[in-house]
């Protein structure tokens, strides 16, 4: 297979749940020769959905990686492909995949167009500056409408979408695709599973429409290149296909445009042309900017690494999977080479790691490699002390690559082992799951003796429970899901004193500090140049040595620990700035422990003065329902303290956008099904934290106390 960097494409397939990502991936595996039998999601035989839960539920839960060859215009290319989940509970899988990809294919449903989770995925790709192309799938569906879906990409995502294809027919009459660059129609033979593609002239009845779309294509492509703009104004017909492709490639890599393809993966229509588009328009590793990082010995010093085999080795760990033969650590190699048996450095924790074996992955199957160069995505065995987001690099030329950001869990529940043996196995299993899934948290509460697990949604925790019981054979009982609330303050409080004094014969304990607190945001912290760890900023404003320098970190530790555990309620205190303004000490009795306790007492005093309030997670909910049930659905949302933000017409279907507290949404899917005779559907994702009504705050605080 090709190893020249210009012949490599690192891409991901991402979209809203049920848009057909995994089906697109299965077709790619078939046409690239990686699979000889077609896997189907609805039959539970999809190659990339190899977990039992994925096959039973018909959804993708974890991202799966594969490497496959594709021959385009006589050259062999190597496509590293990651299929990502669409369900919002597994958004972390999309996040970590996008971080290491050079390009992505966003898949849309030809009938629905842009849906709720499509917007989330698009925003994630924006955050990691990932060039994209679009595939409007499911054009064989009843009611599929290419123009509607295409316009929804422009309108709802604000994207400069450029159609390079239009469908030949729609619904049951879908025959193939019309290529607007070459102005030819392509038919995909059903008997050959779409492998035999026949070129035709564009049918007469579609010629005018194709010309209209082609004019738009040339107009939009010309706007991406100054020379082409002049040529377009002088003589549109003189512009060649090669010039159009070059302009769109340049615009796609700079994220100034997004080429749009179409077809039906299920009916085997359009996937080969999509693969050609991946080669034509998405960047190779050398066409994306050098990866950025910092010097481990000087955080202020920025370093870059070029995508080059001869540069010092650097790679980012983006996934860890427990395996019977040892943990598989997935990594993207940005620079240098990795040879089997090489010793590398994890600069985050200072540990040395040995890459004892290197594999090129194909879903759950693998091919052993002796060495691998820049621009590749591989799995390595032998890495013991590195987790998702860590950097591995040359021991002599350290660099810390930019870390990923992981969302905070919004839902938790208690989990109890059934036997003493289960208890021992459970603690080991939870450590393993935390390594694999950075959006999962677990902690043991000493006071209640309960283990609490937390995640991104009901489905997320349900999958974890299933993994513990079925895959790890651990007997557990789980409690009801609980919402992860947060505590905040509504106003500032000045001169709040914490005095810790203990005298019990011999040496005593003495710590005395005065603090001020105020509401504070991450944006303010960034502007002020302060660290905003766990949404708390701390600033030392002591002058004249009223508290010796060695005790200031102890005050900060006391403040931070107290904020983490909550003050008025057992929920983390967030969005505050604490200023240490005054204090006193004793030459003999003062200690780090005493000042830590003083910091705790001062924060408790400050929060009582600053009037704390409880914040609850608010979810963005998108519901699609036939018009007949609109009244039922909106009435039900109001009864759940929901606020309807927008209602959109989609033919006979209404799409409702609402913001609803998570605590009111447990079991919502079942009740929505009931009130709409199974015809309404909903998607939900975390939006923000917002203050709770005072009467409900009291109930929650009493229940949590």
Q: For position 90, what pLDDT does the model report? A: 55
> Could you give phi then psi for residue 2, rounded to 5 degrees?
-60, 140
Q: For position 38, what pLDDT does the model report? A: 40
For residue range 171-228, what is the model confidence (pLDDT) as tens digits? Answer: 888 999 999 999 999 999 888 888 888 999 999 999 999 999 999 999 999 999 888 8
For residue 682, count other CB atoms closer than 10 A to its CB. Answer: 18
Q: How confident is the model at residue 341 (pLDDT cuts 50, 70, 90)?
A: very high
Half-sphere exposure of 530 (CA within 13 A, CB side): 21
Pairing of strands 371-372, 338-339: antiparallel
Is 658 within 8 Å of 623 (Cβ atoms)?
A: yes
Consecutive H or E run containing 563:
helix 552-565
What's the whole-number mean pLDDT along residues 262-285? 93
- For 567-604, give one letter per residue: b (16+ CB within 10 A) or e: bbbebbbbbbbbbbbbbebeeeebbeebbbbbbbbbbe
In three-state secondary structure terms, 705 is: coil
Q: How confident is the model at residue 704 (pLDDT cuts 50, 70, 90)?
A: low
For residue 151, count other CB atoms closer than 10 A to its CB. Answer: 14
Residue with more model confidence, 45 or 457: 457
Among the residue ranges 211-215, 257-261, 268-272, 300-304, the one predicted with the least confidence is: 300-304
Give helix then strand counts, H and E, for the chain. Answer: 17, 38
Give every CB contact of residue 178 below 8 A, 6+ residues apart in sequence.
Answer: 165, 166, 167, 168, 184, 185, 186, 202, 206, 210
Say what percent of the chain tops pLDDT 90.
42
Residue 44 pLDDT exceeds 80: no
Q: Give the pTM.
A: 0.70
Residue 54 pLDDT exceeds 70: no
Q: For position 640, what pLDDT does the model report? A: 92
What's the whole-number mean pLDDT along residues 436-457? 76
Please, which residues bridge with residue 66 across strands? 81, 362
Q: For position 83, what pLDDT does the model report? A: 65
Sheet (strand 576-584) strand order? 493-502, 509-519, 576-584, 536-540
Q: How confident is the model at residue 364 (pLDDT cuts 50, 70, 90)?
A: low
Q: For position 448, what pLDDT does the model report? A: 59
For residue range 638-650, what is the model confidence (pLDDT) as tens digits? Answer: 999 999 999 988 7
Measure the CA–CA gap between 498 and 479, rounded to whole angstroms. 38
Six token digits for residue 96: 């970590």
Q: For position 505, what pLDDT does the model report? A: 63
Is 94 within 8 Å of 124 (Cβ atoms)?
A: yes
Q: What is the mean pLDDT of the chain?
A: 85
Please, which residues bridge with residue 83 across strands? 13, 64
Q: For position 446, what pLDDT does the model report? A: 64
Residue linked to tokens 């999958």: 463
Residue 631 pLDDT exceeds 60: yes
Q: How confident is the model at residue 379 (pLDDT cuts 50, 70, 90)?
A: confident
Q: How confident is the model at residue 324 (pLDDT cuts 50, 70, 90)?
A: low
For residue range 73-97, what is the model confidence (pLDDT) as tens digits? Answer: 889 998 888 766 544 455 666 776 7
Measure the CA–CA gap between 695 and 699, rounded to whole angstroms. 7
Q: How confident is the model at residue 18 (pLDDT cuts 50, 70, 90)?
A: confident
Six token digits for residue 229: 């703009």
Q: How far is CA 457 from the centre of its chain?
A: 14
Q: How confident is the model at residue 513 (pLDDT cuts 50, 70, 90)?
A: very high
For residue 527, count other CB atoms closer than 10 A to its CB. Answer: 9
For residue range 224-246, what is the model confidence (pLDDT) as tens digits? Answer: 988 888 888 888 888 899 999 99
Please, which residues bridge with residue 178 across strands? 166, 185
Closest by CA to 672, choosing from 642, 697, 692, is 642
Q: How confident is the model at residue 41 (pLDDT cuts 50, 70, 90)?
A: very low
Six token digits for residue 336: 């240098």
> Could you give phi then psi for residue 102, rounded to 5 degrees?
-95, -20
Is 465 within 8 Å of 480 (Cβ atoms)?
A: no
Q: How confident is the model at residue 573 (pLDDT cuts 50, 70, 90)?
A: very high
Six token digits for residue 486: 């947060």
Give every CB contact of residue 212 below 8 A, 6+ residues apart in sequence.
Answer: none
One-character DSSP codes across 76-116: EEEEEEEE---SGGGHHHHHHHHHH-SEEEEEEETTTBS-H
Closest by CA to 210, choosing from 232, 241, 172, 179, is 179
Among the residue ranges 38-47, 58-67, 497-506, 657-666, the one predicted with the least confidence is: 38-47
Q: For position 705, what pLDDT does the model report? A: 52
Q: How confident is the model at residue 62 (pLDDT cuts 50, 70, 90)?
A: very low
Q: For position 61, what pLDDT does the model report? A: 38
One-character DSSP codes across 235-272: -GGG--HHHHHHHHHHHHHTTS-EEEEE-BTTTTBSHH
Q: For position 263, what pLDDT does the model report? A: 94
Pairing of strands 653-661, 643-650: antiparallel
Taken in order of first residue, the domains within the chain and their CATH numbers are 5-287 (3.40.50.300), 291-401 (2.40.30.10), 411-484 (3.30.70.870), 487-610 (3.30.230.10), 614-704 (3.30.70.240)
Half-sphere exposure of 176 (CA within 13 A, CB side): 24
For residue range 427-444, what is the model confidence (pLDDT) as tens digits? Answer: 888 888 887 777 788 887
Residue with more model confidence, 151 or 324: 151
Residue 392 pLDDT exceeds 90: yes
């Amino acid at each position: 297979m090709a190893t020249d960097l210009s012949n490599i494409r690192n891409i991901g397939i991402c979209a809203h749940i049920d848009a057909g990502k995994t089906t697109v991936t299965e077709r790619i595996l078939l046409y690239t020769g990686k699979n000889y039998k077609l896997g189907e999601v609805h039959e539970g035989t999809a190659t990339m959905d190899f977990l039992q839960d994925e096959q039973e539920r018909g959804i993708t839960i974890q991202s799966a990686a594969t490497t496959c060859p594709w021959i385009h215009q006589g050259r062999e290319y190597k496509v590293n492909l990651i299929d990502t989940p669409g369900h919002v509970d597994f958004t972390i899988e999309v996040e970590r995949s996008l971080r290491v990809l050079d390009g992505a294919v966003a898949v849309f449903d030809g009938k629905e167009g842009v849906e709720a989770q499509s917007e989330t995925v698009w925003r994630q790709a924006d955050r990691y500056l990932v060039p994209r192309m679009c595939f409007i799938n499911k054009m064989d569906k009843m009611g599929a409408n290419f123009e509607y879906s295409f316009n929804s990409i422009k309108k709802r995502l604000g994207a400069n979408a450029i159609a390079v294809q239009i469908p030949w027919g729609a619904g049951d009459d879908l025959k193939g695709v019309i290529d607007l660059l070459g102005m030819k129609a392509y038919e995909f033979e059903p008997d050959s599973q779409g492998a035999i593609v026949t070129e035709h002239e564009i049918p007469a009845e579609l010629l005018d429409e194709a010309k209209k779309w082609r004019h738009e294509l040339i107009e939009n492509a010309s706007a991406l290149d100054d020379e082409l703009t002049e040529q377009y104004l002088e003589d549109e017909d003189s512009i060649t296909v090669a010039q159009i492709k070059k302009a769109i490639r340049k615009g796609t890599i700079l994220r100034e445009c997004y080429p749009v393809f179409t077809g039906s993966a299920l009916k085997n229509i359009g996937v080969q042309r999509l693969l050609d588009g991946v080669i034509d328009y998405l960047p190779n590793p050398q066409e994306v900017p050098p990866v950025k990082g910092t010097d481990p010995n000087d955080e202020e010093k920025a370093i870059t690494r070029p995508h080059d085999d001869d540069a010092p080795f650097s790679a980012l760990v983006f996934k860890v999977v427990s395996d019977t033969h040892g943990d598989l650590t997935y990594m993207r190699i940005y620079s240098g080479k990795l040879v089997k048996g090489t010793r590398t450095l994890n600069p985050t924790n200072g540990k040395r790691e040995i890459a004892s074996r290197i594999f090129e992955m194909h879903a759950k199957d693998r091919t052993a490699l002796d060495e691998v160069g820049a621009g590749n995505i591989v799995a390595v065995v032998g890495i013991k002390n590195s987790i998702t987001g860590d950097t591995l690099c040359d021991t002599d030329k350290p660099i810390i690559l930019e870390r990923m950001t992981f969302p905070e869990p919004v839902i938790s529940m208690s989990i109890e082992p059934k036997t003493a043996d289960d208890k021992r196995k459970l603690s080991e299993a939870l450590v393993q799951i935390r390594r694999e899934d950075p959006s999962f948290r677990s902690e043991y509460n000493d006071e209640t003796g309960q283990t609490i697990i937390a995640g991104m949604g009901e489905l997320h925790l349900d999958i974890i429970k299933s993994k513990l019981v079925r895959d790890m054979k651990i007997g557990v009982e789980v409690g009801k899901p609980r919402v992860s609330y947060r505590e905040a303050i509504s106003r500032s409080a000045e001169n709040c004193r914490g005095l810790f004094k203990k005298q019990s014969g011999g040496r005593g304990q003495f710590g005395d500090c005065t603090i001020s607190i105020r509401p504070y945001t991450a944006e303010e912290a960034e502007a002020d140049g302060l660290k905003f760890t766990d949404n708390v900023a701390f600033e030392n404003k002591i002058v004249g040595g009223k508290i010796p320098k060695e005790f200031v970190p102890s005050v900060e530790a006391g403040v931070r620990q107290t904020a983490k555990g909550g003050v008025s309620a057992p929920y983390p205190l967030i969005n505050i700035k604490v200023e240490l303004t005054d204090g006193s000490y004793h030459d003999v009795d003062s200690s780090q422990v005493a000042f830590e306790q003083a910091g705790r007492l001062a924060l408790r005093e400050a929060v009582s003065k600053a009037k704390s309030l409880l914040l609850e997670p608010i979810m963005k909910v998108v519901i699609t329902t036939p018009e007949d049930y609109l009244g039922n659905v909106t009435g039900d949302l109001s009864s759940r303290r929901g606020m309807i933000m927008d209602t959109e017409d989609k033919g006979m279907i209404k799409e409702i956008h609402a913001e609803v507290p998570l605590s009111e949404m447990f079991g919502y899917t079942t009740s929505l099904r009931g009130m709409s005779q199974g015809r309404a559907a909903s998607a939900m994702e975390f939006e923000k934290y917002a203050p709770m009504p005072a009467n409900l705050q009291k109930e929650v605080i009493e229940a949590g106390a």
